[in-house]
């Protein structure tokens, strides 16, 4: 006879893989079900890194501290008696998919989108051509990128793409060390950026100003920088009729255009750095000089044509070219997921295939007891808060399925601890993370910074 899951005697055992925003929102939503419907849960959250909070810690820009305050909400979730954190535990390596299935009634994948998209152009693999993902991880103290060391001795940098990530990386390149040192930027990045020679940052959009992906607050910041000013060519602000109509119906786009038009109308203040927003340019080759160093980005000039239903505009090459000077090239053209051992994966979209958060295998068949949230579910879109309703929706699916789930064969809370200990996996608990957190905050206080992040796992473990 199968046991009833979700009772006080036999809580629903849920493993959440990934301790980023989507994982925490899923945990919070599950905890909320106790009050709502009397469902008892026991949640174990795993992350391959020691520190939790995923993109809030390692993605959100260090000079955007307000966004990071959401981690207080995650701490409330983590403080629940029926929640345990296991940092420094890698799914697929320290614990296999089959073992997890034995110990948990349900698994929620909250693994985000860890890798990046390529441009697919010649020269992309030259030294000092890299992805924004790597640069972000480097300046945010991600342990795997501490030695990334981009060459900032060059005078000109190109950022490809006009999403919010492109805004983040361009702003970090454009800010003075005084502006950066009040943040929790990695010390190694602060030291390198203090010696940066970069004077011109070119942000390249393959479409026009009415098709940008960034949000109004992000573009506005470029008008408020201490040592850098925005540059937009007035002729590139000419917008065709269809684009104007589409932009008019979109409040954020209207605000973006107001800001960009103001930038285009500005006279230079003679600041030492410039951030150029360039439109209708698609990189076709990253060029190198005789020493193999990047010298520029050859771009095809595009024009815009409406797509079939006139709902958007697409870029079409004109056969004419322009070369933008560059010694560093950063592509910021979107993230993509990476497959997990034993878990279905859709290569094309870079996500875990699912229906309403229920993982599906080939042919669309639901994999009982497995769920997905966040970027791994819907792709890399939306801000941190977008993950809340998304995770709630998956939890609604999970809760609807509880009666039909196959109970775990080894649901004891001790099982996972014993297994990890037998493998000498030094997992980090929530209480231990809070000690590391306190050490970082204290180091920050001493320097009048929000925190000084510990980078290497060894340094973090030393605190314990």
Site string for ligand NAP, 373-402 (x = CB under 6 A): -------xxxx-------------------
Give the span between the Cα atoms of 453 and 464, in whole angstroms: 15
Enter the tokens of residue 32: 């909320």
CB of 18 to ligand NAP, least distance (A): 16
287, 299, 291: which is closest to 328 by C-alpha? 287
Binder among 29, 45, 106, 166 for ligand NAP (CB under 6 A): 166
Per DSSP (E only), the strands in 309-395 are 313-325, 328-331, 335-336, 354-355, 358-360, 366-372
- Among 74, 109, 335, 433, interactor with ligand NAP by CB under 6 A: 335
- What is the per-residue burial (b if ≥16 Cβ within 10 Å, else e) of 108-139? bbbbbbbebbebebebbebebbbbbbbbbbbb
To the nearest whole angstrom, how small is the minimum distance from the Cβ of residue 106 to ligand NAP? 27
Window 91-120: residues binding ligand NAP (CB under 6 A): 119
Residues that bind ligand NAP (rule: CB under 6 A) add up to a total of 23
The residue (of 260 and 416) whose beta carbon lies closer to ligand NAP is 260
What radius of gyration, in Å, describes the C-alpha atoms of the chain? 24
- Residue 170 vs 228, nearer CB to ligand NAP: 170
Please identify which residue in the block is written with the tokens 């209480």.
431
14 near 55, Cβ under 8 Å? no
Q: Which is nearer to ligand NAP, 84 or 206 (CB)?
A: 206
How far apart are CB 283 and ligand NAP at their closest, in Å? 7
Strand partners, 288: 294
Stretch 119-158 residues interacting with ligand NAP (CB under 6 A)? 119
Other CB atoms within 10 Å distance of the CB of residue 246: 19
Indicate the residue among 4 and 381 with the shorter CB distance to ligand NAP.
381
Cβ proximity to ligand NAP: between 57 and 207 the closer is 207
User: Can you read off the two tokens belonging to residue 248?
Assistant: 């008019």
Interface with ligand NAP includes 20 (CB under 6 A)? no
Of 6 and 150, nearer to ligand NAP (C-beta) is: 150
Binders of ligand NAP in range 199-258 (CB under 6 A): 206-207, 211, 213, 218
Q: How far apart are CA 337 and CA 354, in angstroms?
A: 14
Residue owning tokens 């403080």: 79
CB of 233 to ligand NAP, least distance (A): 18
Q: Which residues, numbered 269-308, are part of the site for ligand NAP (CB under 6 A)?
A: 282
Q: In terms of DSSP H, where are the helices of 195-265?
A: 216-220, 241-248, 251-265
- CA of residue 464 relative to chain centroid, distance: 28
Question: C-beta of 252: minimal distance to ligand NAP in Å?
Answer: 11
**Least distance CB 382 / ligand NAP (angstroms):** 5
Bridge partners (DSSP) listed for residue 67: none
Q: In angstroms, what is the minimal distance from the CB of 65 to ligand NAP?
A: 12
Output 113 or 398, the one with its CB closest to ligand NAP.
Answer: 113
Q: Binding residue for ligand NAP (CB under 6 A) from 21, 334, 350, 369?
A: 334
95's tokens: 């614990």
- Closest approach, Cβ 361 to ligand NAP, in A, equals 27
Provide the minimum distance between the beta carbon of 147 and ligand NAP in the complex, in angstroms, as a whole number. Answer: 24
Choose between 67 and 396: whose C-beta lies nearer to ligand NAP: 67
For ligand NAP, give the closer residue by CB, 106 or 333: 333
Query: Is residue 162 a contact residue for ligand NAP (CB under 6 A)?
Result: yes
Residues facing 108 on adjacent strands: 16, 371
In the complex, least distance from residue 403 CB atom to ligand NAP, rounded to whole angstroms: 36
Considering all CA atoms of the chain, what is the largest pairwise distance in Å, rounded to the nearest integer? 78
Q: What character string, x for contact with ligand NAP (CB under 6 A) and - otherwise, covers 49-88? A: ----------------------------------------
Beta bridge partners of 306: 313
Three-state secondary structure call for residue 213: coil
- Supply 94's token pair: 């320290």
Nearest-approach distance from CB 251 to ligand NAP, in angstroms: 16
Q: What is the spatial distance between Cα 110 and Cα 22, in angstroms, rounded to a whole number? A: 6
Handedness of CA 263, 265, 269, 271 (dihedral sign): positive
The answer to the question of residue 165 lying near ligand NAP (CB under 6 A) is yes
Residue nearest to ligand NAP (CB): 163
281: nearest Cα among 161, 163, 120, 169 = 161
Nearer to ligand NAP, 42 or 351 (CB): 351
Sign of the C-alpha dihedral computed for residues 379, 217, 267 and 244 taken in this order: positive
Angle between helices 21-37 and 387-401 (to 10 degrees): 50
Give the interface with ligand NAP as residue ranges (CB under 6 A).
119, 160-166, 168, 206-207, 211, 213, 218, 282, 332-335, 380-383
């Amino acid at each position: 006879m199968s046991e009833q899951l979700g009772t006080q005697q036999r809580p629903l055992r849920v493993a959440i893989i990934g301790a980023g925003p989507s994982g925490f929102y899923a945990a919070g939503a599950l905890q909320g079900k106790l009050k709502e419907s009397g469902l008892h849960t026991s949640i174990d959250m795993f992350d391959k890194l020691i520190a939790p909070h995923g993109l809030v810690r390692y993605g959100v820009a260090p000079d955007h501290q307000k966004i990071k305050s959401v981690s207080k909400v995650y701490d409330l979730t983590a403080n629940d008696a029926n929640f345990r954190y296991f940092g420094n535990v890698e799914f697929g390596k320290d614990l296999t998919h089959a073992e997890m299935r034995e110990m948990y009634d349900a698994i929620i994948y909250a693994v985000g989108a860890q890798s990046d998209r390529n441009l697919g152009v010649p020269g992309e693999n030259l030294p000092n051509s890299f992805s924004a993902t790597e640069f972000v991880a480097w300046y945010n103290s991600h342990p795997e990128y501490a030695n990334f060391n981009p060459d900032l001795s060059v005078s000109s940098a190109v950022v490809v793409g006009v999403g919010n990530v492109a805004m983040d990386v361009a702003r970090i390149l454009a800010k003075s060390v005084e502006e950066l040192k009040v943040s929790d930027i990695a010390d190694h990045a602060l030291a390198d950026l203090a010696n940066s020679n970069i004077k011109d940052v070119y942000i390249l959009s393959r479409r026009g100003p009415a098709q940008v992906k960034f949000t109004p607050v992000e573009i506005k910041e470029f008008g408020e920088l201490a040592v850098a000013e925005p540059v937009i060519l007035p002729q590139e602000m000419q917008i065709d009729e269809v684009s104007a109509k589409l932009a008019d119906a979109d409040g954020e786009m209207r605000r973006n255009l107001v800001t960009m038009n103001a930038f285009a109308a500005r006279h230079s203040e003679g600041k030492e750095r410039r951030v150029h927003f360039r439109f209708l340019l698609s990189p076709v080759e990253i060029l190198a000089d005789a020493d193999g160093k990047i010298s520029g980005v050859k771009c095809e000039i595009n024009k815009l044509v409406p797509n079939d239903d006139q709902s958007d505009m697409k870029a079409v090459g004109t056969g004419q070219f322009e070369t933008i000077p560059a010694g560093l090239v950063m592509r910021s053209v979107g993230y993509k997921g990476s497959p997990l051992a034993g878990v279905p994966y859709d290569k094309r979209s870079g996500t875990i295939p699912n229906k309403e958060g229920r993982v599906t295998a080939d042919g669309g068949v639901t994999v009982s007891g497995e769920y997905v949230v966040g970027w791994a579910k819907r792709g890399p879109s939306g801000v941190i808060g977008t993950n809340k309703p998304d995770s709630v929706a998956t939890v609604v699916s999970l809760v609807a399925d509880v009666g039909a789930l196959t109970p775990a064969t080894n649901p004891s809370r001790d099982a996972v601890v014993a297994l990890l200990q037998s493998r000498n996996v030094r997992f980090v608990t929530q209480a231990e993370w809070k000690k590391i957190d306190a050490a970082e905050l204290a180091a920050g206080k001493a320097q009048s910074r929000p925190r000084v992040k510990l980078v290497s796992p060894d340094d973090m473990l030393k605190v314990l």
